[in-house]
Amino acid sequence: MKVEFTAAQIAALLGGKVEGDPEAKVWNVARIEDGAPGMLSFLSNPKYIPFIYDTLSSIVLVNEDFEPTQQVKTTMIKVKNAYESFAQLLAIYQEYTNNKVGISENSFISSDAEYGEGCYIGDFAFVGERVKIGNNVKIYPLSYVGDDVVVGDNTVVYPGVKLYAMTHVGKNCIIHSGAVLGADGFGFVPQPDGTFKKIPQIGNVFIGDDVEIGANTTIDRSTMESTKIHNGVKLDNLIQIAHNVEIGENTAMAAQSGVAGSAHVGKNCIIAGQVGISGHLTVADHTTIGPQSGLTKGVSEPGKSIMGAPAYDYSKYMKDIVRQRNIEKLEERIAELEKKLSELLSK
């Protein structure tokens, strides 16, 4: 279904000002350089200013301080921040188009489970005993919601998600396909005969509000108490969070990173892709960790940037990289000096 919006409607939503045709209509989005009739684009990076004079997009969001130096054919909407406004529009559009409501006859819901108003529970979704689901929650087909799970208002659980028993998910969360929350932590005791004895994992996973969890990411239940993902955390696809880990508020972690058991990551940290954090470490608030880094000891000072394996100060790491790249030249210089020294000594 094609949903159209006029420039006047978009400006009203964003508190912007239309310059051009207020009745110009859009039904999809495109990059400004790839614009076409019916498309909405945005301009925030000065590098892309030349495209606004030739774009075929019907409407372009621009910053309110943008002043064209030649004629602009498209309709502009001036807003405080074009990039943020564009993201806001996408969120509104997604909410509008994904506003599914209703309980599928092909789903299974335990008799003592509770769910609020405006919910959607899709085909072949399973909802276990004593589950509590809030208002406007969307549980897509083939998802599993185990016994005693709590899912807060306005949370979206995409197809194929597994929420093991006792998992707690807060409000306004997004959990993408294939994510598994609450599987057993990796706890085993080596035995004298070389075998391993499993340690029962009797805790749970606690997810705060406004958390997004990427596809095929796994968060293990704790041995005791809770593995905790606090409010505002953003986890990319293919991330492993081990048992008893705690991730502080508004921390973002990119794909293929892993956090070993009982590690504590602070608030507002940025963790790039393929980072490994050893168990029982503490990472201070506002830490930035570069890609493919490995932490073997904690970070005690807030605001540090680190990189490498093992990770250390980012600026020192970059200097060391430069030195490594100059090793061949240094070898040549040393060889030349040794040759000259040998000639001098022979004389």
- Is 280 in the active site? no
Residue 328 has pLDDT above 60, yes or no: yes
**What does the pLDDT read at residue 160?**
98
Residue whose structure tokens are 């002043």: 67
Would you place residue 326 in the very low, low, confident or very high pLDDT band (cuts 50, 70, 90)?
confident
**What does the pLDDT read at residue 253?**
98
CA within 13 Å, CB half, 131? 27
**What does the pLDDT read at residue 1?**
54
Higher pLDDT, 335 or 271: 271
- Tell me what the mean pLDDT of segment 119-133 comes to: 98
Amino acid letter at 51? F
Would you place residue 64 in the very low, low, confident or very high pLDDT band (cuts 50, 70, 90)?
very high
Would you place residue 94 in the very low, low, confident or very high pLDDT band (cuts 50, 70, 90)?
confident
Residue 290 has pLDDT above 80, yes or no: yes
Active-site hit among 168, 176, 230, 243: 243
Strands 168-169 and 150-151 come out as parallel
Whether the bond into 310 is cis, omega within 30 of 0: yes
- Tell me what the mean pLDDT of segment 91-118 comes to: 91
Q: How far apart are CA 202 and CA 220, in angstroms?
A: 11
- Digit-coded pLDDT (tens) for 151-197: 999 999 999 999 999 999 999 999 999 999 999 999 999 999 999 99
Residue 347 has pLDDT above 80, yes or no: no
- Digit-coded pLDDT (tens) for 300-324: 999 999 999 999 999 999 998 888 8
Instruction: Please choose, from the candidates 301, 243, 312, the residue with its C-alpha nearest in 3D space to the C-alpha of residue 269.
Output: 301
Q: How far apart are CA 317 and CA 56, in angstroms?
A: 46
**Mean pLDDT score across all residues of the chain:** 95
